[in-house]
């Protein structure tokens, strides 16, 4: 069956790709990614961040190459290489993937609230309120989701300069000697960093919704450059602020840095940061739900709004069974590894398959 083209009124301007990618990459990971990288790379962790960020530019180029070749999204690419039925089976794998991604972000954020602010907060009732908001946004359509991604970057942007408060207590000698670790350790740090960076691959799903996709390429690369600079800067400030032993014990290093902030009108700035972060993770969850429900629609011909409700109900049921710190950590670990395999293994492999099929079809 011939796929319906996306109406022009539903498409977004190329520059909005910048906010879509950045809003997916900047999420719950910012609050505590430093410890994971430092376990392997120590004071060279900032190099690991730069290497991971640099590698993403290659993957984003591959993503655009795939979409241009098949003139569509990931579902189109699967049909292109494997036919309609097998293509749909391959695409259906990404329904649970993005469902688990949204579940991971919501449960990880809820853990931060329960540990730092309200230990007795109900997991179910908070999740219900948040999911109702997400349903409302996704029901507004793709352009509404993009609008939330825009505000999810612009409105909380005041939080990043706050990290500058740590300069008065920083000891930049902690960064020395540079390249103090083996290449293997630094690359292991890059691997853990790539788990924090995942989200940029969503371009594979909303590519048909971009006006003049060619013009959006530069914005995609700008988004990855911006997040790389942010994560590297925070990493340098963290290494300068903490000793090795302190960082090894800090699960949420960014929140610990915010604790030192003193202002005349607020005593506990980390509370403001945690509350504001609910807006940062909102596009993470909304985009993941939108993708999961859209793939449901494309593969099983299920109405997208019904798909959103199914995903929301499944989230509310499963999230109540994830209670301990170990379970949340395991969920994050599984999601990160799935994201790494998808981004750095499957996407390059998919490009090879698409190019082979293209060559065969030409003959």
pLDDT digits (tens, 9 = 90+) for 292-343: 999 999 999 999 999 999 999 999 999 999 988 899 999 999 999 999 999 9
Domain assignment of residue 278, yes or no: yes
Q: What distance lies between CA 89 and its chain's CA centroid?
A: 24
Rounded average pLDDT over 173-193: 90
pLDDT bracket for residue 57 (50, 70, 90): very high
> What does the mean pLDDT of the chain come to?
92
Q: Which among 279, 278, 308 has a CA at the least distance from the CA of 291?
A: 308
* pLDDT over threshold 90, residue 174: no
Domain assignment of residue 1, yes or no: no
- The count of domains in the chain is 1
- The H-assigned helical ranges of the chain are 16-25, 33-41, 45-70, 74-82, 84-92, 94-116, 123-139, 142-154, 183-197, 203-206, 213-241, 244-249, 253-258, 269-300, 304-318, 325-341, 347-362
pTM: 0.94
Name the DSSP letter for residue 263.
Answer: B
Q: Write the pLDDT tens digit of every residue in 275-288.
A: 999 999 999 999 99
pLDDT of residue 129: 96
pLDDT of residue 312: 95
Name the DSSP letter for residue 330.
Answer: H
Rounded average pLDDT over 254-273: 86
Q: Write the pLDDT tens digit of every residue in 73-88.
A: 999 999 999 999 999 9
Sign for the pseudo-dihedral over CA of 310, 316, 322, 325: positive
Domain assignment of residue 2, yes or no: no
* pLDDT over threshold 90, residue 6: no
Q: Which among 259, 257, 261, 260 has a CA at the least distance from the CA of 236?
A: 257
pLDDT of residue 224: 96
Rounded average pLDDT over 254-266: 85
pLDDT of residue 265: 78
Domain assignment of residue 251, yes or no: yes
Domain assignment of residue 55, yes or no: yes
* pLDDT over threshold 80, residue 242: yes
pLDDT of residue 7: 86
Domain assignment of residue 3, yes or no: no
Domain assignment of residue 79, yes or no: yes
Domain assignment of residue 200, yes or no: yes
pLDDT bracket for residue 3 (50, 70, 90): low
* pLDDT over threshold 50, residue 186: yes
Q: Which among 193, 208, 192 has a CA at the least distance from the CA of 291?
A: 208
Full residue range of the structural domain in which residue 51 is found: 8-362
pLDDT over 90 for what percent of the chain? Answer: 75
Q: Which residues of 111-137 are buried (b: 16+ CB within 10 A; e: fewer)?
A: bbbbebeeeeeebeebbeebbeebbeb
Rounded average pLDDT over 235-250: 89
Which one is predicted more confidently, 243 or 319?
319
pLDDT of residue 2: 47
pLDDT of residue 37: 92
151 within 8 A of 137, measured Cβ to Cβ: no
Q: Write the pLDDT tens digit of every residue in 99-155.
A: 999 999 999 999 999 999 999 999 999 999 999 999 999 999 999 999 999 999 999
CATH no. for residue 326? 1.20.1740.10
Q: How many Å apart are CA 70 and CA 67, to the nearest integer? A: 5
Residue linked to tokens 């409302």: 136
Sign for the pseudo-dihedral over CA of 257, 258, 259, 262: positive
pLDDT of residue 47: 94
pLDDT over 70 for what percent of the chain? Answer: 99
Name the DSSP letter for residue 176.
Answer: P
């Amino acid at each position: 069956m011939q796929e319906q083209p996306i109406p022009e009124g539903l498409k977004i301007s190329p520059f909005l790709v910048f906010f879509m990618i950045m809003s997916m990459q900047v999420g719950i990971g910012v609050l505590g990614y430093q410890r994971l990288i430092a376990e392997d790379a120590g004071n060279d962790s900032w190099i690991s961040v730069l290497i991971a960020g640099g590698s993403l530019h290659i993957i984003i180029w591959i993503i655009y190459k795939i979409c241009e070749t098949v003139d569509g999204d990931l579902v189109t690419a699967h049909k292109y290489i494997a036919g309609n039925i097998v293509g749909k089976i391959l695409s259906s794998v990404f329904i649970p993937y993005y469902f688990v991604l949204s579940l991971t972000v919501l449960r990880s954020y809820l853990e931060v609230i329960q540990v730092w602010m309200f230990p007795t907060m109900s997991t179910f009732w908070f999740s219900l309120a948040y999911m109702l908001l997400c349903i409302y946004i996704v029901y507004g359509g793709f352009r509404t989701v993009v609008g939330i991604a825009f505000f999810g970057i612009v409105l909380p942007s005041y939080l990043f300069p706050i990290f500058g408060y740590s300069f008065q207590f920083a000891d930049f000698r902690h960064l020395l000697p540079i390249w103090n670790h083996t290449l293997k350790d630094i690359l292991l740090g890059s691997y853990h960093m790539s788990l924090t960076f995942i989200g940029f691959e969503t371009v594979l799903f909303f590519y048909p919704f971009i006006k003049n996709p060619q013009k959006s390429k530069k914005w995609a690369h700008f988004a990855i450059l911006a997040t790389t600079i942010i994560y590297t800067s925070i990493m340098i400030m963290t290494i300068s602020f903490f000793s090795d032993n302190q960082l090894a014990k800090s699960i949420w290093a960014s929140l610990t840095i915010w604790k030192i902030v003193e202002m005349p009108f607020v005593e506990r700035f980390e509370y403001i940061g945690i509350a504001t972060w609910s807006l940062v993770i909102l596009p993470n969850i909304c985009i993941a739900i939108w993708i999961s429900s859209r793939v449901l629609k494309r593969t099983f011909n299920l109405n997208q709004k019904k798909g959103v409700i199914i995903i929301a109900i499944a989230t509310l049921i499963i999230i109540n069974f994830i209670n301990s710190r170990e379970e949340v950590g395991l969920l994050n670990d599984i999601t990160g590894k799935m994201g790494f395999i998808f981004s750095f293994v499957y996407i390059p492999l998919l490009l090879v398959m698409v190019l082979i099929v293209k060559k065969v079809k030409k003959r």
